[in-house]
Amino acid sequence: MKKAMMVMAAMSAALVGSGIAFAQMPIVIYSEIAGDPTAQVPGFPAGTYFESFERPYASPNGQYWLMECDHDGDSAQDNFILKGSGTDGSTAFTVLQEGKEAPWNTAELMGTIGDRNMGINDNGDFAVAANTNGPTVSDEYIVKSIGGAWSIVAQEGQPLPAPHETGMWSTTLNSPFILADGTVGYRGDSNLDTSFDYFLMLADTVIAQEGVTIPGNQGGGATSPWDNLDSQDYYMNATGTVWIAQGDTEAATSEDDIAVVNGNVVVQEGYTIGDFTIPVDGSGISQIYMTSNGDWMVRGDNDDNKDWIYRNGTVIAQTGDEVPGSGGTEFYDDTRFASCFFHMIGNGEGDYIIGAVTDAADEEFDAVLVLNGQQVVARQGDPVDLNGDGIDNDNTYIDIFNDDDGFLTNDLMLYFTAILRDGSGADLGQAFMYIDLGGSEPCPFDLDDNGAVGPGDVGVVKNNFGCDINLPGCAALDFDNNGAVGPGDVGAVKNEFGPCP
């Protein structure tokens, strides 16, 4: 996971002039590479470049996405939210911008967005947390846009729902999401006593309240109420039938950290999960997640520092597990990165992606994204398609994956952000990109990309005899799947001579 200083030079040398088209090479939508076309912010004056990306959020069907960004222009107006669709970044547009009028109250100007979490549904309706330059006693909001019409869901200084009408929302309103029918959920604090002031809401319905709501299924049969509802750790499926949240109870500090699904504890500090005999560590729950169909995931570790990902009641990955496709030569490992796992997302069809650090000999290639526990679909050091021509010719590579910053659509389009670098290890900044995991290369033997399979493609294979099969470009040439590039692969190409379909 540490920043690369010098990588891919060997791979580039091995594949010089190959013109290989990688079927699953990440394609950049936006980047921070100033001057590059992918860095231009859509809808802003030419020369306005992206400066940072926050976590992208997608609608359940993957058609729409929302993402908070910053540009390199006026610092009083540089924070904004983009709404986009698909992979064509030029069609995205700004829905909120710092320093501009708040569309639900044009007498106030937008401040910084204020919260990473946001939600969008299949209609393109969305909900966000925001603040304005209005009075400090009423400048925090949860708002939604339905068909382009804005409305306030919750506002600092406004009354709490029944039976708390005497209380008011206070300075913390965050973690919004939106259901298929436009209903919005969120987390907020109030001016009630600090033992009871935080709530998890779905519209005007209280899902949980500190000091009041008692999660079920607590270890040892305990009945301790919530004591803390963690920020940015509250999610719900698309129809509002399943929710997940993380926080603490009023139990002893050795067993108070919990993850809760639909009101019942699924992971608790001091108690075991799955087949483990060692309990979850005191700070063992590091992240939670829920998909649009209600699948849930929790990430953490045990008292013996065993790291894991727990999905729907089953441990699906842990330190020491073999990396898929490695043939028993590579394993998930926390030596270089204490948490081992850094990514877990899923779609509404039951597919999921996890990210992990491994014990790969070269630490510049030791972070992977894995689909359904079966296939490595991206690796630190992989080439990235910056100019969109489908060929590894941009001197651009994945350096560091950003934790959990991505989404997976139902048709297996993986969108994610990562820090990029060039072949010398120089930092190029972040990028928002995608990989089509559901597609296939229409003409995989056309290695010189000329529209037909012929002698030129045989030459590409011969020029790469003996290349490192662990590198993506080399693996793409192992057509006979014998673990090496050699005469059998030449034969496979010759058998396909002719125009591409």
- What is residue 441's predicted lDDT score, i.e. its pLDDT? 55
Mean pLDDT over 242-254 rounds to 96
Pairing of strands 280-290, 205-209: unpaired
Q: Nearest CA to 343 among 404, 252, 391?
A: 404
- Is it the case that residue 288 has pLDDT exceeding 80? yes
Check whether the bond before 215 is cis (ω within 30° of 0).
no
The residues facing 340 across adjacent strands are: none
SS3 letters for 356-415? EEECCCCHHHCEEEEECCCEEEEECCCECECCCCCECCCCCEEEEEEEEEEEECCCCEEE
- What is residue 16's predicted lDDT score, i.e. its pLDDT? 32
Pairing of strands 50-53, 64-71: antiparallel
- What is residue 15's predicted lDDT score, i.e. its pLDDT? 38
Mean pLDDT over 400-407 rounds to 97
- Is it the case that residue 465 has pLDDT exceeding 50? yes
- Let me know: does 212 contact 200? Beta carbons within 8 Å: no
Q: How confident is the model at residue 14 (pLDDT cuts 50, 70, 90)?
A: very low
Is the model more confident about 162 or about 266? 266
Length of the chain: 501
- Let me know: does 458 contact 494? Beta carbons within 8 Å: yes
- DSSP H/E element including 492: helix 487-494
Q: How confident is the model at residue 447 (pLDDT cuts 50, 70, 90)?
A: confident
CA 289 to chain centre: 10
- Let me know: does 25 contact 397? Beta carbons within 8 Å: no
Mean pLDDT over 277-289 rounds to 93
- What is residue 439's predicted lDDT score, i.e. its pLDDT? 65
- Is it the case that residue 500 has pLDDT exceeding 70? yes
Q: pLDDT tens, 84-125?
A: 999 999 999 999 999 999 999 999 999 988 788 999 999 999
- Is it the case that residue 3 has pLDDT exceeding 70? no
Q: How confident is the model at residue 471 (pLDDT cuts 50, 70, 90)?
A: low
- Is it the case that residue 157 has pLDDT exceeding 50? yes
- What is residue 442's predicted lDDT score, i.e. its pLDDT? 59
Q: How confident is the model at residue 10 (pLDDT cuts 50, 70, 90)?
A: very low
Q: Nearest CA to 332 among 345, 316, 346, 347?
A: 316
- Is it the case that residue 135 has pLDDT exceeding 80? yes
- What is residue 445's predicted lDDT score, i.e. its pLDDT? 83
